[in-house]
Chain A
């Protein structure tokens, strides 16, 4: 018979497991600590509902322990995922993966109390203290290993998010299986069995960190290859300028000869006209190029420079008139360089796509260094109407399915940067995106 006392014991056990789970979740998510703490009380519903579900299931199928256990675990996993999604404001799959991963650790340590209580001299309270201490130490150790950082890195990329979630779920399922199988282990083998579980958990941690490092390295190599290619483009531009200057030097000798002739004859008006022509000719042929290369040269952050070069070159090829202004040298971006580069890429892609659909194709980029931070402004004309209630919504695009998916991920990247602010404007047929990063003074 399932009594009230059973219920209470079940509830306490579940509550403790949830507390442990939360410790690991904090280690994995590692941000927004205070705000999430405020939302913590809502998590109590999970063990509460869990207990009720268990009681209900017991009434329905009293003799199928494993089925009950699986159903209960899944429902608790789901409730915790929803809570994580709400508390950290992440996507569903990210929340699911994080919960599963935290679950792996939680199940791994939850074998411990039974093991301790096997040794009957130990008090229940003492066992719980050791349990708590082991949890906190292992969480601290994982924190030192920057496990959360690597794990979240794997979840950032949209394409592998679901695979990662599935992978974590599989790990969690394996752990739960270990937990159930423990019931069938003879007491003298419990210690080695438990060691096996711990080793499994450690292997899982190693695997996740290894995967994340591989991904990170691949991303960096790709970016470096980009930088080299862009640097070559830049050099070709400089070479163009050099050739133009040589050609101009030749013309300019002829022009000077003409000028001195006009001066000799006292034709002041003509002299002025020729001078103006000389000035305009210089501006047209070299001035604009020198200006552009000086602007791009002011961007001293290689990742950002190469990105700007490649995106602007691609837009020029499509016949979009690009203008870049960088008044002061930009030495740093005030936030993670790769994150900034991704934001810039998204903004430039969106601007290029939108500008291409209008009568006047132009895109304007203004970068201004501000102390330790910087300000970026990308503007472009757009065609059609903008619905301000929905442009930031996930998956929305003015251009139909599958395009313009950038803005939500742009927001997602910036959500991690407390010192970044992004404003948007769409007055007078011009769409403007501004990103201001304040220096971390």
Chain B
């Protein structure tokens, strides 16, 4: 069963949302329950100690000592990387993009008297639909740390890793992005095992993304991109089943 946690310091709002959510769960017969409706961040954190893939409805403007909505979201994200965060705000002027990019928040609802409940219910419907999708095909992810955050990239999206010109930095290439993080190809090669091939000292390519090998020109095409190929890399490729001379 999916747990729902709610945190808002206004009694009336909390009650409104909780009732709306419970009613929606009952009517639609979702496999969910409102596990906790907390007034303070501490209370919520205590209750959600072992939440995993839970749903959280959080007030943006929590006034609870060091905790505000963003900090609370960050802490919950740390504990429950695949949870769903929904924010409750009094104004439409929330710094929404910040929440979206840095906490991967799912959505937000605006507190308007009498309309808060229905929007919470609508939001829950969307959350439920997404969770169903995810359950159908869970994806394996590669996690990398940049700054204070951890990102998850589906393993199937990664084309290759490349050593960056800067010491100890590595580039991760996908079809539509290049990410820079601190790491080493040797460690990655060990960690990712047989799914990636070290085609060159500076390149670690996804085995299933290699499209063509230019044995003479010392290059490999990986997902439409070009990687260098070394002699050791050629030997690696030969070892693979289907590797041709």
Contacts and interface: CB of A to CB of B under 8 A. Distances in A.
A244 to B, nearest CB: 16
A364 B176 CA distance: 19
A432 B176 CA distance: 10
A17 interface: no
Nearest to A392: B178
Interface string B144-178: 00111100000000000000011111000100111
B167 A368 contact: no
Given A291-B93, A323-B97, A366-B98, A422 B147 contact: no
A428 B177 CA distance: 11
| Chain B interface size, under 10 / 10 to 19 / 20 to 34 / 35 or more | 20 to 34
B173 A388 contact: yes
Contacts of B165: 89, 411, 415
A424 B178 contact: yes
A295 B96 CA distance: 13
A423 B179 contact: yes
A3 interface: no
A258 interface: no
Interface string B174-191: 001111111000000000
Interface stretch (A22-30, A115-123, A369-377, A398-406): A369-377
B70 interface: yes
Most buried by A among B97, B102, B168, B182: B97
Contacts of A425: 176-178
B168 A427 contact: no
Contacts of B148: 370-371, 375
Contact of A388 (B101, B166, B225): B225
A436 interface: yes
Contact of A427 (B91, B173, B176): B176
A325 B178 contact: no
Contacts of A326: 95
A327 B173 contact: no
B181 A421 contact: yes
Given A373-B147, A418-B168, A325 B92 contact: no
Given A287-B91, A389-B225, A423 B146 contact: yes
A32 interface: yes
Interface in A246-300: 283, 287-288, 291, 295
A323 B101 CA distance: 14
Contacts of B180: 421-423
A352 to B, nearest CB: 18
A426 B179 contact: no
A303 B147 CA distance: 23
A389 B178 contact: no
Contacts of B95: 295, 325-327, 366
B97 A421 contact: no
A159 interface: no
A438 interface: yes
A437 interface: yes
Interface string A324-339: 0111100000000000
B226 interface: yes
B95 to A, nearest CB: 4
A186 interface: no
A89 B169 CA distance: 15
Nearest to B180: A421
Contacts of A325: 95-98
A327 B226 CA distance: 40
A434 B226 CA distance: 24
A438 B147 contact: yes
B226 A427 contact: no
Interface of B: 70, 91-93, 95-98, 101-102, 146-149, 165-169, 173, 176-182, 225-226
7 contacts: A287-B91, A373-B147, A375-B148, A388-B178, A425-B178, A427-B177, A428-B176
Given A411-B165, A424-B177, A437-B147, 5 more contacts: A283-B91, A325-B97, A364-B97, A425-B178, A426-B177
